[in-house]
């Protein structure tokens, strides 16, 4: 009787939800963005701002289209550094987080050091990396890795530690090994934390790669921007900023999409933060 009432109630609620016309949230963001760009275009024409101070959106876009193949090459260079660097920080960071969670010794020795190092501005290490590793790919990959490493590790440790005691006991009561508990309970339970770390990490990896290109490079968007700046080619500077923004957003969206794919249960589960 009571369960039937509940079934009916839930069906009703779901029915209500479906009957609404849903406007994707992204539409609002896109409209706002377009509006701001139009405002910029109008203002830069009205106030006759010279292009070397602030080029107008149309100028930026037409330059972008004109230089697309050159930009593509630099973007690929930067992307390679970002992906290698971020991949490396996952490759080292996740196993490290797992050992920290399972080893009291590491939790007491390494983990505080990691948290401490995190407070250093990683960018200040860039010049030393140049001395050690030269002007090649390695310097940028290491910088991207270093800078994205800490959010990945710290969020992963928090995530792996966030397993409920009762949930752990449930696993134990089923008589399964700690390794199986990790795969079936601890890891999926940690996914929201892991992805929070990935999102911050991948964005920071871009920062690392760009800083690396500032100090040591002949290729990449950071290098391109630096040289354009030196030539007072403000238009090209803005073009690279736009491309960088696109690169950053695309990477973020990829992580976000993966998150949605892997945890369809998570977002519907939360009251705030996503409306």
Partner 1 sequence: MSNYLQLYAVDKVFHTKTGDIQALSNIHLNIENGEFLSVVGPSGCGKSTIMRIIAGLDKPSNGSVEVNESELKGIADGAAIVFQKDVLLAWRSVLDNVTLPLELKGITWFDRSNHQTNRAKALELLESVGLKGFENKYPHELSGGMRQRVSICRALIQDPKLLLMDEPFGALDALTREQMMYDLLKLSNKYKFTTVFITHSIEEAVFLSDRVIVMSERPGTILKELPIQLTRPRDNHTRSNDIFSENVNEIRDIFQSQGILAEN
Give the nearer residue to partner 1 in terms of CB position, either 39 or 170: 170
CA angle 131, 79, 222 (to 5 degrees): 55
User: Position of tokens 């911050």?
Assistant: 200
Q: Whole-number minimum distance, CB 214 to partner 1, in Å?
A: 42
Number of neighbouring beta carbons within 10 Å of residue 78 = 27
Nearest approach in angstroms of CB 180 to partner 1 is 6
Nearer to partner 1, 171 or 197 (CB): 171
Closest CB to partner 1 among 66 and 267? 267
Report how far residue 197's alpha carbon sits from residue 5's, in angstroms, rounded to the nearest whole number.
42
CA pair distance 99, 216, nearest whole angstrom: 35
Quickly tell me which residue has 């923004």 as its tokens.
Answer: 245
CB of 93 to partner 1, least distance (A): 22
Minimal distance, residue 17 CB to partner 1, in Å: 11
Question: Does residue 101 come out as left (phi exceeding 0), alpha (psi in the -120 to 50 range) or beta?
Answer: alpha
Residues at the interface with partner 1 (CB under 8 A): 1-4, 6-7, 10, 164, 166-167, 169-176, 180, 184-185, 188-189, 191, 263, 265-266, 268-269
Nearer to partner 1, 66 or 260 (CB): 260
């Amino acid at each position: 009787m009571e369960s039937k009432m509940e079934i009916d109630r839930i069906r009703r609620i779901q029915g209500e939800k479906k009957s609404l016309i849903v406007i994707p949230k992204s539409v609002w963001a896109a409209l706002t963005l377009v509006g701001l760009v139009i405002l910029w275009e109008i203002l830069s024409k009205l106030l006759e701002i010279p292009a070397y101070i602030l080029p107008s959106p149309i100028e930026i876009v037409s330059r972008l289209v004109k230089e697309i193949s050159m930009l593509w090459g630099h973007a690929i260079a930067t992307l390679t550094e970002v992906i290698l660097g971020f991949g490396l920080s996952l490759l080292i960071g996740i196993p490290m987080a797992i050992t920290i969670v399972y080893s009291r010794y590491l939790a007491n020795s390494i983990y505080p050091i990691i948290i401490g190092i995190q407070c250093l501005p990683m960018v200040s290490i860039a010049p030393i990396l140049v001395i050690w590793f030269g002007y090649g790919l390695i310097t940028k990959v290491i910088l991207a890795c270093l800078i994205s490493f800490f959010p990945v590790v710290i969020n992963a440790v928090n995530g792996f530690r966030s397993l409920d005691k009762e949930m752990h006991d449930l696993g134990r009561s089923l008589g399964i090994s700690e390794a199986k508990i990790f795969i079936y309970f601890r890891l999926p339970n940690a996914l929201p934390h892991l992805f929070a770390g990935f999102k911050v990490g991948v964005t920071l990896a871009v920062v690392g790669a760009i800083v690396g290109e500032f100090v040591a490079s002949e290729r990449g968007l950071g290098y391109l921007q630096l040289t354009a700046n030196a030539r007072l080619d403000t238009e090209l500077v803005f073009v690279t900023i736009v491309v960088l923004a696109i690169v950053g957003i695309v990477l973020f969206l990829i992580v976000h999409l993966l998150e949605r794919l892997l945890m369809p249960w998570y977002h519907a589960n939360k009251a705030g933060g996503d409306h």
